[in-house]
Structure 1
Amino acid sequence: MTVFRTLILSCILGAISTGAFAANAIPSTTSRPPAKSVPLTAEEVFQLYYNRTWIWKDGAGYFAAKRRDFRAWSGEGTGSYGVGHWFVTDPGKLCFKATWYAKTGNAPALTCFSHRRRGNVIFQKREPNGDWYPFKTTPAKVDDEYSKIRPGDYATAGYNRMRIKLSQGK
């Protein structure tokens, strides 16, 4: 892998990393879904993300209603921003396909998360090799990853700042 691709990949991973992967992850030696869980429908997944922002440790991603645009930024390292589209598929999958820009260039990436329900808990897993973890519970818990997903656009301002920062070479 070239140095450029390695750098872009690390920016992408930083941009979509959340506290959930460390704090809420269910240790697992397999990628089998939680017992007796069922995949969410495309409509259920759509309702989780439509016109909302996922706030990350050092950035955010916005799942716009208009044309299903996706915009994100991350301050990890020298920083990066991504622009593209998001979509949902059955069974229970959210994906965003974006071109990520960093100081050293740009690269496309497809990132997907699967969702399943068991009782009052929605589980999430980053595809293809992530572990399943509780994502959203009813009633909500303070440490639910879903509490970081907020209605409205909280990402575009950071996206614009990062775009300007990288274009100026700072």
Structure 2
Amino acid sequence: MTVFRTLLLLCIFGAISTGAIAANAAQSSMAKPPAKSVPLSTEEVFQLYYNRTWIWKDGAGYFAAKQRDFKAWSGEGTGSYGVGHWFVTDPGKLCFKATWYAKTGHAPALTCFSHRRRGNVIFQKREPDGDWYAFKTTPAKAGDEYQKVRPGDHATAGYNRMRIKLSQHK
């Protein structure tokens, strides 16, 4: 199970973070929070994701309004899909706890992202060991990762396709 979990988590986290890393490759990464930045409030983080879909390089995750359900899929490798819930904690953190399913089985995972603001820029960092990068600017700039966070559900169709695909491998 340990090897399976490691492979599954690498697949999932690769799909989630690849887009963010690629979009910000030109920026220097930061291990420490940006100077003079402050954590977003719970409400601010909530408004960033509520009833929106984060489109990834090869998949998507939907942060539903109803009961804060979370659905996602990734086509990386043999593919996977996840189902669970999302929540916001202080200071400025978005998390989603989901069970991820792949051809070889399933495993639970908790994924969190911290958010901080400095001026008109919201920075994001994947916890625990990601690097801070500009996530959203006001006014929006080309290449902002937040431009991939879109209103509505753009993940359930892919989630359903992946569920069917993986069920055929049993």
TM-score by length of 2: 0.95
Query: C-alpha displacement at 1:27, in angstroms?
Result: 3.2
Counterpart in 2 of 1:125?
Answer: 125
Counterpart in 1 of 2:9?
Answer: 9
Of the structure 1 ranges 5-14 and 103-112, higher mean CA displacement relative to structure 2 is found in: 5-14
**Aligned amino acid, residue 28 of structure 2:** P
**Matching of residues 79-158 of structure 1 within 5 Å:** 79-158=79-158
Write out the 4+ residue segments of structure 1 that deviate beyond 4 Å after TM superposition.
none
Cα RMSD between the aligned structures? Answer: 1.5
**Aligned amino acid, residue 8 of structure 1:** L
Equivalent pairs counted in the alignment come to 169
CA distance in 2, matches of 1:98, 1:158: 16
Q: How many percent of aligned residue pairs carry the same amino acid?
A: 87
Q: Unaligned stretches of 5+ in structure 2?
A: none
Per-residue CA deviation, residues 115-161 of structure 1 (Å, 9 max, x unaligned), is: 00000000000000000000000000010000000000000000000
CA distance in 1, matches of 2:6, 2:166: 18
CA distance in 2, matches of 1:14, 1:158: 17
Q: Unaligned stretches of 5+ in structure 1?
A: none
CA contact (8 A) 2:5 2:107 kept: yes
Counterpart in 2 of 1:19?
Answer: 19
**Aligned amino acid, residue 166 of structure 1:** L
CA distance in 2, matches of 1:111, 1:149: 17
CA distance in 1, matches of 2:139, 2:18: 21
Counterpart in 1 of 2:78?
Answer: 78
SS at match of 1:122: strand
CA contact (8 A) 1:136 1:145 kept: yes
CA contact (8 A) 2:45 2:115 kept: yes
CA distance in 1, matches of 2:133, 2:34: 9
SS at match of 1:18: helix
TM-score by length of 1: 0.95
Of the structure 1 ranges 5-14 and 59-68, higher mean CA displacement relative to structure 2 is found in: 5-14
CA distance in 1, matches of 2:137, 2:106: 37
